Amino acid sequence: MDRAIGHHMYYGFTRSICPVCTELINAQLLIRDDQLIMRKFCPQHGHSETLVATNVDWVNSSRTAIKPPDLPLELGSEVKKGCPNDCGLCPDHQQHTCFAQIEITNVCDLDCPICYTPPHATRAWYLGRERFEWMIDQAVAREGLLNQLAITGGEPTLHPEILDFIRLAKRRNIEGVLLFTNGNRIAKDEEFARALADIRPTIYLSFDGFNPEVYKQTRGKDLLPLKLQCLERLSKYNISTILVPAIMKGLNDDQLGPIIEYLFKTPNVLTVQVQPVFALGGCAGMSINSLDRITMTGVMEAIEAQTHGQVKMSDFICVPCHHPLCGSTSYILLDEQDQPLSLTRFVDVKQFLDYVTNRSRADMTDLFKLSRSAVEAIASASAVLGTETGRVEESIMQLLTSVNCCGLDTPPRAFRKRMKQISIHAFQDLYSWDQNRAQKCCVHTLLPDGRAIPFCNYNIFHRNTGDAWTYQYQLEQFGETYKMGQVKEITDAA
Ligand code: SF4
Ligand code: SF4
Ligand code: SF4
């Protein structure tokens, strides 16, 4: 008797949610046609499947790169109902905050179809200065040194006190302060750009490529001229910039090559952080085919093809502070002829990662200890080029020196100002949420009551389920004064 052969292979088990009702349900991870698929069953809404990764070899190799948890000095909640209902962080959480975010307003001058933070036009709020400072102080107390703080929104440049907020953050024990923005205000308001040049936050600019048609779909109108004007201004004032393309399969995945080419030739643009579009907020209503979507590994494959092998999939290293399916990164050195050289082609980062993740033991010579701390600095969600400490650049030079620069024609120091980073951050959504990943998350939204919530959990379980208004109630409960502003007035002021 011929028995049928199953068309997928069991790989693992986790908890996820039903994409229709968001009830917590069990989920299987399966290998099918060299792809990793999440399959789950909701008693009410039946089966659903989503593509998690296109390349199982990558997934297998990255699974070993999970680092033992590095815990915060203090926790913010107790375990009462179980994950994901106890975020704070609770004692079950498996990583401290590498990258913190504070939303300082929900107001925005755009209405992007892919936005995960709507609505912007009703019940506008602005975080007050005292609460902002208190929230930072809480986070710094939990962390000792807070690696990175992102000021975000809505559109944070529309907050009336945005420049003061950046100054206040920079006075704290924080390694780097980032300003998330759509770039409109920088493009339109030169005074504002000049002020940013004095304070020097790193600009984290949404930028979906060079095709005007793409912006009509991702941002609701052709924003390319404004984006280019913003970039010109950031270059003029030499402000460190991270370009953040939201990439959707079949829409702008062909833009990765041109964006990376721009990265290589633009001195103040230090990083491209690619974000596959995730199905939340406005995007949940867009037609994302959950089985034919771009994933982290899909982005790597597209980058390798579109850069003609200048940046290969093998140049990406796992970021072991969070779950390996959440993100990966690569560092590129530009030689004197501006030719890109990937760090991993000179340094066996994987060998060091084995030690970082405690899977190998070795005689810890002083050189090796130094190299280990250097790898920890670069293989982290908090690794940002261009901060005042230059920690990431120094770490890369340390690694180059430790391997005697084999194969390098240029001395390590010469690369100090010629480093670029390409990272991929694959945020979770209604289809892909995986409790394993949530518990290891190191990217946290700070709330006005002092809690830190893993960013994907905040988006999935709080923001769009009415808890956005909880955010507002929290402000009220703490006696914070905030203005019920009208979006239009704010937009005009910008
Ligand atoms: S995601 Fe982390 S902090 Fe939130 S409930 Fe789960 S273990 Fe606790
Ligand atoms: S600019 Fe950002 S906050 Fe504003 S609508 Fe677009 S995605 Fe949302
Ligand atoms: S924010 Fe989401 S994708 Fe990023 S590390 Fe946390 S759980 Fe993973």
Same domain as 141, residue 42: no
Mean pLDDT, range 154-158, rounded to an integer: 94
Contact 323, 66 (CB under 8 A): yes
pLDDT at 437 (0 to 100)? 96
Inside any domain, residue 494: no
Q: Is 322 a domain residue?
A: yes
Q: Is the pLDDT of residue 365 over 60?
A: no
Q: Are 199 and 265 contained in the same domain? A: yes
The answer to whether residue 91 sits within a structural domain is no
Q: Is residue 76 a part of any domain in this protein? A: no
Which of 326, 328, 434 should be mutated for ligand 3, with most atoms under 8 A from CB? 326
| DSSP-assigned states of every residue in 272-295 | EEEEE--SSGGGGGS---TTS---
Cβ of 441 closer than 6 Å to ligand 3, yes or no, is yes
Q: Is 251 within 8 Å of 217 (Cβ atoms)?
A: yes
Q: How many domains does the chain have?
A: 2
Q: Which pLDDT score is estimated for 489? A: 29
Q: Do 225 and 117 lie in a common domain?
A: yes
The reply to whether 143 and 202 lie within a common domain is yes
Distance 323 CA to ligand 3 centre (A): 8
Q: What confidence tier does 294 reach under pLDDT thresholds 50, 70, 90?
A: very high
Look at residue 308 and tell me if it is in a domain. yes
Assess if residue 477 is contained within a domain: no
The answer to whether residues 162 and 105 belong to one domain is yes
User: Are residues 275 and 198 part of one domain?
Assistant: yes
Residues 319, 381 contacting (CB under 8 angstroms) = yes
Q: Per-residue pLDDT tens for 240-270?
A: 999 999 999 999 999 999 999 999 999 999 9
**221 and 289: one domain?**
yes
Give yes or no: residues 201 and 109 share one domain: yes
Distance (angstroms) between ligand 2 centre and the Cα of 9 equals 40
Q: Identify whether 239 is part of a domain.
A: yes
Q: What is the DSSP letter of 7?
A: S
Co-location of 157 and 46 in the same domain: no
Ligand nearest the Cα atom of residue 93 = 1
Residue 446 lies in a domain: no
The 10s digit of each residue's pLDDT in 52-91 is 999 999 999 887 777 788 889 999 899 999 999 999 899 9
> What pLDDT score was predicted for residue 494?
28
* Same domain (yes/no): 28, 163: no
* Cα–Cα distance for residue pair 74/374, rounded to 1 Å: 26
Q: Do both 42 and 104 map to the same domain?
A: no
pLDDT over 90 for what percent of the chain?
60
Check: pTM over 0.85? Answer yes or no: yes
CATH number at residue 236: 3.20.20.70
Contacts of 436 (CB under 8 A, 6+ apart): 14, 323
Boundaries of domain holding 164: 99-383+413-439
> Does ligand 1 have an atom closer than 6 angstroms to the CB of 428?
no
Atom number, ligand 3, closest to the C-alpha of residue 441: 6
Beta bridge partners of 31: 9, 36
pLDDT of 287 over the 70 cut: no
Q: What is the pLDDT of residues 302-311, one digit of tens each?
A: 999 999 999 9
21 & 146 share domain: no
